Amino acid sequence: MIPATLNETRAMALGPLERRPSLKKRTYPMGIIRSLYDRHLLPKVLNTLMKSPEMTRIRARWVPQVSGRVLEIGVGSGLNLPFYSSDAQVFAVDPSEELQVYAREVAEAHGTNVEFAAESGETLPADNQSFDAAVITWTLCTIPDPFAALMELRRVLKPGGKVIFAEHGLSPDAHIAKWQKRINPIWQPVAGGCNLNRCPDVLFSEAGFAFDEIQRGYIAGPKFATYTYQGAARLM
């Protein structure tokens, strides 16, 4: 019999489908790839990026201003820990146990008095009015519900409690802000949930904090990610 079509010729050459060897490629579900990235690569990347000289100068300026029982939300890899005063007793929370491995090493190296908890800022494991002060740096961008976290901060701070903060967020320059909003959906999943277009000053004000001091401006780096709000605030 002469095959009528090219497809029939190929079929005769290959034989019945059930006799052909399997050529399946090995595939990995995106969830597994994302989990490996978040657990193994991302902590190393963040620990490196957050050590920039200008970020370190900001930490060195503000963190020593707090004392007593201090809450740090989003301790990350512990880059604030070397700058606490000797009379600070720090309770540090962060949901990333992988980053806390770095933080524990920093605490041990610098002798910082700190207790760690793998918790999120929205659900703080602390009693009402149990902290004298708080530190939150480059963290509000990542917390899924930053307003809820600041309301939790209100709950656990003593009246008049001081909050030291340094956060990046939405630029006042329209052309930069436009790109922040465009880039954000791509940036967020590769940067650990970080958002480029939040307004930390508005969040603090809406949560009932008053600013003792606030500075706004770009620090070194790409402008879409480096417009920074830094300062000190208190409960109103």
User: Could you tell me the pLDDT band of residue 21, with boundaries at 50, 70 and 90?
Assistant: very low
Domain at 172, CATH number = 3.40.50.150
Mean pLDDT of 201-211: 97
Among 46-50, 69-73, 169-173, whose mean pLDDT is lowest?
46-50
Mean pLDDT of 19-36: 53
Q: Is the pLDDT of residue 154 over 90?
A: yes
User: Could you tell me the pLDDT band of residue 10, with boundaries at 50, 70 and 90?
Assistant: very low
Number of domains in the chain: 1
Q: 154 lies in a domain?
A: yes
191 Cβ neighbours under 8 A, 6+ residues apart: none
Q: 103 lies in a domain?
A: yes
Distance CA 173, CA 175 (A): 6
Q: What is the pLDDT of residue 15?
A: 44
Q: What is the pLDDT of residue 6?
A: 46
Q: Is the pLDDT of residue 105 over 70?
A: yes
Q: 1 lies in a domain?
A: no
Distance CA 131, CA 91 (A): 9
Q: Which domain holds residue 90?
A: 30-235
Q: 21 lies in a domain?
A: no
Mean pLDDT of 192-209: 96
User: Could you tell me the pLDDT band of residue 28, with boundaries at 50, 70 and 90?
Assistant: very low
Q: 15 lies in a domain?
A: no
User: Could you tell me the pLDDT band of residue 150, with boundaries at 50, 70 and 90?
Assistant: very high
Q: Is the pLDDT of residue 49 over 90?
A: no
In this predicted model, what pLDDT tens digit does every residue of 114-145 receive, in sequence order? 999 999 999 999 999 999 999 999 999 999 99
Tell which wins on pLDDT, 47 or 74.
74
Q: Is the pLDDT of residue 35 over 80?
A: no
Side chain identity at 221, as an amino acid letter? G
pTM above 0.85, yes or no: no
Mean pLDDT of 46-69: 95
In this predicted model, what pLDDT tens digit does every residue of 158-182 receive, in sequence order? 999 999 999 999 999 999 999 999 9
Encoding tokens for residue 132? 């004298």
Looking at the chain, the whole-number percentage of residues with pLDDT higher than 90 is 75
Helix H segments across 63-215? Answer: 97-110, 146-156, 174-190, 200-206
User: Could you tell me the pLDDT band of residue 12, with boundaries at 50, 70 and 90?
Assistant: very low
Name the nearest CA neighbour of 74 among 122, 17, 3.
122
Q: 11 lies in a domain?
A: no
Tell which wins on pLDDT, 6 or 197.
197
Residue carrying the six token digits 């000053």: 201
Q: 24 lies in a domain?
A: no
Q: 150 lies in a domain?
A: yes
Q: What is the pLDDT of residue 33?
A: 52
